[in-house]
A and B are shown apart, each in its own frame.
Chain A
Amino acid sequence: MAQGPDTLKVNERFGPHRGYASGTRLASNIEPDRVVNTHCCFCGQQCGIQLKVKDNEVVGFEPWYEFPFNRGMLCPKGVKRYLQGSHPDRLLHALQRDPAAPGGFRATEYDAAVRVAADAIARIQTEHGNDAFAVLTGASLTTEKAYLMGKFARVCLRTANIDYNGRLCMVSAAAGNKLAFGIDRAANPWSDILKAEVIWISGANVAECAPITTEYVWQARDNGARIIVVDPRITPMARTCDLFLPVKPGRDVALFNGILQLMIEHDWLDHDFIEKHTAGFEKLAEHVSTWTPARTSRISGVPEKSIRQAAEWWGQAKTSFLMHARGIEHHSHGVQNVLGAINIVLASGRIGRENCGYATITGQGNGQGGREHGQKCDQLPGARDIANPEHRAHIAQVWGVEPDDLPGRGVDAYEIIRKIDRGEIRGLLSICFNPIVSLPDNNFVRRALEKLDFFVSIDFFLNETARHADIVLPGSLHEEDEGTVTQTEGRVIKINKAIDCPGEARQDWRIIQDIAAALGRPHGLAFSSPREIFDELRVASRGGVADYSGITYEKIEKQYGVFWPCPSDDHPGTPRLFEPGAWNPIATGAGPFYFPDGRARFNVAEYTPPTEDVDQEYPVILTTGRVVSQFLSGTQTRRIGPLVDQYPEPRIEMHPQLAESLGVQDGDWVTAESRRGDCTLRAMVVTTIRPDTVFIPYHWPGRKSANQLTISAQDPISKIPEYKVCAVRLRKAEHAPEYAEQLEPQQG
């Protein structure tokens, strides 16, 4: 399929174009007006950074050495993040779709655009019911905004259908943690990594996706730790780790079960801990007894000897830290994988103590905070359950509405797309989400979005999804607003405003409130600052598991962040969960875990093959992921020139054995084809990937998008899509794809 003239015209007007430093940003004689302590706008590490501001422009950065998590360290995205401001693609006005206008949109007055949006929302909800209008949000929003979006959907729109892009991210970990621990948060601060004897990293390309964590792991090794890495690719960390388990994509739970079986066989168990603090071990032990090393090896693709070695190290360690990320979570059995990981942690008894830890590495900036306060379809603030009458009553009271007026559970983000496709959802508001790039099987997503009666998007750049909008409202960049974010450790940190919004752009929470006002339903949506929203959030979260009630902006600043739960003003926060005596509103003294009996749960983690396994027709496994210089759907990072230059276009990574069988050499064009779509990219032939697997990074749109191929199969519990495994076939392309000549590398 050729690039339609539309795409090229939209690209021309709205980008993505590459922004580079120029003018003041290149000058070496600038005294900044001020230097603002804040955080990076990208991943869940949320590194501290100081932004240098001159004349309402972020002109550069200075390492923030005092912030304890990263002590000045930054990845390339953090270093160049400042280039997202003053960008030629920045939306400075509201846009209204107009096929006659260049790029398909004409600028319109902000108030008029809000009016159009509100009228459309009212019309759709009157004609088709409240649930016919859906809201898609994102986990890069501050917690205040996430909270506001949930409230906006439930109180103003009264739609059940709100969900967010964290659905693509950490929900498997969240669900697994809730099932096992009763709480969804990293159990430990990262400082517990440093003195652990064994570090187990499963499905996490730490070096590229959470680069700052690298230093923690290396420092642990300096202190004598052994590093075990489980990945289908020899990632930069795997290169020098102590034991590398080249797992076959989609088989992590088999490996965990096999490890547990060996732990039981060799009695590498903490019986005391299992006895006192857990439930369900016997049933699990019976289940894993069939996972002999031979069977585990056969299924997981990991040599038996390596499995035994890993089990020995893990089993005999005195202290340890297990971390995982999307590699084990992005599966149609992602929750099972997570439970498998938690099982080997619980069986070792190494949790809730110093240097004994477990955590998922959060992906998005506010992946943690964004999933706690009510923008998930099944959740209310404070990590409360929307189906729980007590929880509903508490929130209804805070919001000044009747509990019965709160809608019930909605559907997950992908199901929202399916409902749009089926005509059940007719209108959509999207903020901080770019599903046309980021959802699997995205050709389907695009077709579905084209069916909407009305689509309003809030963003600072015209992302690929917003191109399908009827109205685009110009939102705020990270540095143009303040608020809190909860980073990977569960540490609530403060984003500080550095500059004012340019042009007609305004802070996202104001836009949402403007829409509510235009709808004539401003109830509870008349905040005048993020601090006011946060203060209400504190009240709303009080008594919940994710209790923020004792956190204030001042406390965050003073302590360099506050770990939730923090239930009162004099409470310092809770860096390490599950410690004796730690605040726990569920167990209330019965034990360290967040169940009424205080016991953690062993869960049988069932192995099932991926939804779409390879076969004769589609014989190669496709797995997807990130590169260090790009972030998620690339709305920001594909506009930052130096980051584009670092890794300009997606390549299809394959082993020379596979390449040889295809007659492909490094740099050749290769077409990958799945049952859902195809994609032609250049080959990158490397020995650092399993020969039965290919890898494509997913940050690009259109014809370069890996998600044309991926499958929309989802985990039945978490609803996370199976990004990490689908079946493809490959062939050498006869010629370069048409886009190669038409598009700049960052465009799709």
Chain B
Amino acid sequence: MNFAAAKATLWGVLVTAALAVLIIAGSRNLAHFDAALVGYTFASLFAVFGITYRYAIWLQRPPTEMYWRRGWQVFLDRRYLARNLREWVKRLISMFALNNFIMRRGRRRWLAHWLIMWGCVIAAMITFPLVFGWIHFATPPGDFEHYRVYVFGFPTITFAVDGFGGFMLFHGLVWASLLVIPGVMIAMHRRMRDHGAGAVQQFGEDFLPLILLFAISVTGLMLTASYTWMRGYAYDFLAILHAITVIFTLLWLPFGKLFHIFQRPAQLGVTFYRDIGALGEQARCVRCDDEYASKMHVEDLIEVEQKLGYRYAIADDPARHYQRVCPRCRRSMLAIAQGRLWDRARGHGDSGGTGDIADLLGGDKEE
């Protein structure tokens, strides 16, 4: 096991252990822990280990490590902190709550993602605290009309058993699945019809997560249907089926597409890196002298590339590292480099030198 993996394993163990402690503490020594949900709990613990492990490995990759470090650095920079916090709230809403950037990629795509995302967020907020025993409901002594919510064993709000609030709360997972199902269907429909998506999509990467979310939602709804309208018909079977779908998803979480849930917040860090970079000194192309990126970004990238083993430095002139050439000039240089080979082959003279018409004119330059 190499160092990175060892470090990641350690982080995984630590975070998983921390969760275990929280479960024990939050459920008051498992007093409020529902033994029927133990499968979910262990799957969650595994998922947390896996996600932490992968996250830690990910953070140790040179580019990620650089962004992680710089992202916090620029965010917490005292000069910009107030601004950053304001922007952070704004971006949290526009990027994460509203998914505006996905809207710009396509309306159907946005609708699918937004429905699935909020369905999953709601479901997660309900499921995990219940599974971990962090929340439980009890009727206050002598009051059968109300429920009281206990969080980490501490009593909080009460609400009427038959009231609207109670109805909404107890059916929270139903609402969540009613968001997820249409979202999944839109996404599936798009994947089946769109030629572009069709060319690059893969079953494991693109269909499996949709199928899993669909399965969780549908089996969940069937459970509700069973106890609400069918007097618990096949309830046990459905409960096991539902558990299987959820547990499989939890176990798969660190490996597949859904891991983007955990990577995605990095997008926020990037926006601050971009903002602060734009406020600072700009890199000028060593060839055309135009500004093309923030100097911080270019220099950071040079460091990252060195760590990755790239050798874009120009040996005889380190100041003119190839990364200090702007992308536009790189494209031109490629054409020029090839054009020079052809010039030489066709005897068009050394390009960049003086022209052949001048030679030709030689003796008969016009008056």
Residues of A within 8 A of B (CB): 28-29, 240, 242, 244, 246, 294, 297-298, 301, 303-306, 309
Shortest distance from the beta carbon of B13 to any chain A beta carbon, whole Å: 46
Of A28, A242, A298, A309, chain B has the most CB atoms within 10 Å of the CB of A28
> Of B80-88, B277-285, B304-312, B357-365, which stretch is located at the interface?
B357-365
Q: List 27 A-B contacts (CB under 8 A).
A: A28-B194, A28-B196, A28-B197, A29-B190, A29-B193, A29-B194, A29-B195, A240-B346, A240-B348, A242-B346, A244-B357, A294-B364, A297-B364, A297-B366, A298-B366, A301-B366, A303-B357, A303-B361, A303-B364, A304-B363, A304-B364, A305-B360, A305-B362, A305-B363, A305-B364, A306-B357, A309-B360
Extra contacts, 15 of them, besides A29-B193, A303-B357 (Cβ < 8 A), are A28-B195, A28-B196, A28-B197, A29-B194, A240-B346, A240-B348, A244-B357, A246-B357, A297-B366, A298-B366, A301-B366, A303-B361, A303-B364, A304-B364, A305-B362
The 7 closest A-B CB pairs, nearest first, are A29-B193, A305-B360, A28-B196, A304-B364, A29-B194, A303-B360, A303-B361
* Complex CA distance for A240 and B335, rounded to whole angstroms: 13
Q: Point out the residues of chain A lying under 8 angstroms from B193, CB to CB.
A: 29
Cβ contacts under 8 Å, B190 to chain A: 29
Q: Which residues of B contact A (CB under 8 A)?
A: 190, 193-197, 342, 346, 348, 357, 360-364, 366
- In Å, the complex CA distance between A240 and B360 comes to 17
- How far in angstroms is the closest Cβ of chain A from B31? 54
In the bound complex, CA of A259 to CA of B196 (Å)? 56
Pick the residue among B196, B346, B348, B360 that contacts A306 (CB under 8 A). B360
| Inter-chain CB contacts under 8 Å: number | 33
Partner of B342, one of A28, A240, A309: A240
CA distance A306 to B342 in the complex (A): 21
Residue of A nearest to B359 (CB): A305
Residues of chain B contacted by A240 (CB below 8 angstroms): 342, 346, 348
Q: Which residue of A lies closest to B365 (CB)?
A: A303
Which single member of A28, A298, A305 contacts B361 (CB below 8 Å)?
A305
Q: In the complex, what distance in Å separates the CA atom of A28 from the CA atom of B342?
A: 40
Q: Which residue of the partner chain A has the closest CB to B361?
A: A303
Q: Roughly how many angstroms separate A29 CA and B196 CA in the complex, as a whole number?
A: 8
Residue with the highest number of chain B CB atoms closer than 10 Å, among A29, A244, A246: A29
Residues of B within 8 A of A304 (CB): 363-364
| Cα–Cα, bound, A28→B196 (Å) | 6
- Of B193, B197, B360, B362, chain A has the most CB atoms within 10 Å of the CB of B360
| CA A53 to CA B75, docked complex, whole Å | 52
Set of chain B residues within 8 Å of A246, measured between Cβ atoms: 357
**Would you give the shortest CB distance from B151 to chain A, in whole angstroms?**
46
Instruction: Give, as a whole number of angstroms, the nearest-CB distance from B145 to chain A.
Output: 54
Bound Cα distance from A445 to B214, whole angstroms: 70
CB distance from A242 to the nearest CB of B (A): 7
- For residue A92, give the distance in angstroms from its CB to the closest CB of chain B: 29
* A297–B367 CA distance with the chains assembled, in angstroms: 12
User: Bound state CA distance, A294 and B363, in angstroms?
Assistant: 11
| Contact partners of A309 in chain B: CB under 8 A | 360
Chain B nearest CB, measured from A373 CB (Å): 43
CA distance A294 to B197 in the complex (A): 66
CB proximity of B235 to chain A, nearest CB, Å: 41
The distance in angstroms between the C-alpha atoms of A513 and B144, with both chains bound, is: 90
- Which residues from chain A contact B195 at a C-beta distance below 8 Å? 28-29
Q: Report the bound CA distance from A86 to B204 in whole Å.
A: 41
Q: How far is the CB of A523 from chain B (nearest CB, A)?
A: 53
Residue of A nearest to B195 (CB): A28
With the chains together, A244 CA to B195 CA distance in Å?
A: 47
Q: How far is the CA of A309 from the CA of B346 in the complex (A)?
A: 16
Contacts of A297 in B (CB 8 A): 364, 366
A29 to B360, CA, bound (A): 58
Question: Cα distance A305–B357 when bound, in Å?
Answer: 9
With both chains docked as a complex, state the minimum distance between the C-beta of B124 and any C-beta of chain A, in angstroms: 31
Question: Across the two chains, which residue of chain B brings its CB closest to A244?
Answer: B357
CA distance A29 to B192 in the complex (A): 9
Closest Cβ–Cβ distance, residue A516 to chain B (whole Å)? 48
Interface centre among B193, B194, B362, B364 (most CB of A within 10 A): B364
Nearest A-chain residue to B357, judged by Cβ: A303
Cβ contacts under 8 Å, B346 to chain A: 240, 242
> A240 to B357, alpha carbons, bound, how many Å?
13
Cβ distance A656 to chain B, nearest Cβ, rounded Å:
14
| Distance, CA A304 to CA B195, complexed state (A) | 59
- CB neighbours (8 Å) of B364 from chain A are 294, 297, 303-305
User: Once bound together, how far apart are the Cα atoms of A297 and B366, in whole Å?
Assistant: 9
A304 to B190, CA, bound (A): 67
B337 to chain A, nearest CB (A): 15
CB-CB under 8 A from B196, the residues of chain A are: 28
State the CA gap A305–B195 with chains docked (Å): 58
Residues of A within 8 A of B362 (CB): 305
Q: How far is the CA of A28 from the CA of B199 in the complex (A)?
A: 11
Smallest distance from the beta carbon of B341 to chain A beta carbons, Å?
Answer: 12
How many angstroms from the CA of A213 to the CA of B366 in the assembled complex? 34
Alpha-carbon distance between A301 and B367 when the two chains are bound, in angstroms: 11
Query: With A and B bound together, what is the CA distance between A297 and B364 in angstroms?
Result: 9
- Which of chain B's residues has its CB closest to A293's CB? B364
Alpha-carbon separation in the docked complex, A28 to B361 (Å):
57
Q: What residues of chain A lie closer than 8 Å to B348, measured between beta carbons?
A: 240
Contact residues in B for A294 (Cβ distance below 8 Å): 364
Chain B neighbourhood of A298, CB < 8 A: 366
Task: State how many angstroms separate the Cβ of B82 from the closest Cβ of chain A.
Answer: 41
CB of B206, distance to nearest CB on chain A (Å)? 15
Q: A246–B357 Cα gap in the complex (Å)?
A: 9
